[in-house]
Chain A
Amino acid sequence: MCALAHKLEEQGFATVALASIRVQAERTRPPRALWTAAPMGRPVGEPSDAAFQTRVLTAALRLLERTDGPVILEDFPEIPPGLTDTPDWVAPALPLPGRYGLMENWRTELQAAMPLWHTAQARFGRTSVGLSGTEPSSWADFFVSILAGELPVLANLDTTALSVRFVCDDVKAFYGEVAQAVGPKPSAMQVDTWFWRQTVAGDVLRAIRAAAMASENNALKTVGGRFFVPAPWVA
């Protein structure tokens, strides 16, 4: 992104980059950048906090007026509230794993989570689920086929590897929305910790990753090893 800033500036446009990893901005030296302490994935700082976002953007855009460049790197002084856990946040109440197998337990959990997913959509006016083009009701059957060694390909996606990747992305998005359907705003780490340590879905994605890595389909093996489960949550 900092490289893109450099190239656009060469084309005659004034640029300012938001920066999450300060050391990258220091090395790449874009014309103007504002570092914030927000987690990666939240360059503008804090969700559902228009005032905070406006302060970040105003601080960044003000750098466009500065004449003491090239290379201006400033730090945004405020700590985003969402950087720390929210004590009052309560994880969604989903059924504990039953005495059946992993996938049956997941079907139960997924079905129990559906009302909360609909609540989240009403709350936020949208859903971020949709990359795979499939409905949640089809996900368990799709993953059962992957665990059985089959290589299904979804419509609009070219390969099994991409099909599995985007269903995984949709599962994570679904649970991220479920985690935020009601109550106060959890931190990013609270959502991740709940999903990867306390839901059956987290175990399902780890199982899908293991199956992909054992596959003879090289694309599935490669994509599965890198892009289904974030490295900190693999084990």
Chain B
Amino acid sequence: MAYTQDIPQPTRDVVLNLPCPSFETAPFVAGLPLAQRRVAIVSSAALIRRGDKPFPFGSGECRQIAADTPPNDLLISHVSTNFDRSGWQRDINVVFPIERLRELAAAGVIGGVADTHYTVMGSTDPAEMEEAVAQIAGQLRQERIDSVLLSPV
């Protein structure tokens, strides 16, 4: 569980001692009111389309997920055994909340939802993801997306 005392050992020590990168800068982008924001999801679950090759271990790649991908076509290929999959097995929105974002857009809480979303292998060293970041940024600009929801497993 995400209360650290509830995470069973030895997983707890592994999770709590994962190396965390530090940064010299502290970027912070201001923007429009939420009702005008257009939002994309980035998931660390290494999601694939059914039939595609799973993410290789340590892969720094990013794959795109079309917003209209049928839920039955999405699979988690993340390598870790440390996180729960039973929630995902029941409901993709606990990992990839596309239906909830659509509802928030329809209700006017956010301005819109991207046509394209993104997924990476969360256990990969962020230093290996420079190209992935550039790819994501390029597509976000093309679709005029200004805000990103990061959904880590």
Contact = CB atoms under 8 A, between A and B. Distances in A.
Nearest to B71: A126
Given A40-B83, A57-B104, A185 B151 contact: no
Nearest to B133: A7
A38 interface: yes
Contact of B1 (A4, A7, A39): A39
A9 B147 CA distance: 9
Interface residues of A, number: 92
A175 to B, nearest CB: 10
A53 B103 CA distance: 11
A232 B10 contact: yes
A212 B47 CA distance: 26
B57 to A, nearest CB: 8
Interface residues of B, number: 86
B145 A13 contact: yes
B65 interface: no
Given A9-B29, A28-B20, A42 B34 contact: no
A177 B90 CA distance: 7
Nearest to A13: B148
A145 interface: no
Given A14-B37, A64-B34, A126-B72, A40 B100 contact: no
Nearest to B3: A37
Contacts, number: 276
**Most A C-beta atoms less than 10 A away, residue of B7, B76, B120, B150:** B150
A76 to B, nearest CB: 10
A19 B44 CA distance: 12
Nearest to B153: A41
Contacts of B130: 7
Contacts of B58: none
Contact of B94 (A1, A43, A64): A43
B85 A128 contact: yes
Contacts of A191: 84, 86
Given A38-B94, A40-B2, A43-B151, 5 more contacts: A5-B148, A61-B37, A124-B90, A128-B88, A227-B81
13 contacts: A6-B27, A8-B136, A14-B148, A21-B2, A24-B15, A38-B1, A41-B84, A42-B94, A61-B39, A126-B70, A128-B88, A180-B90, A231-B82
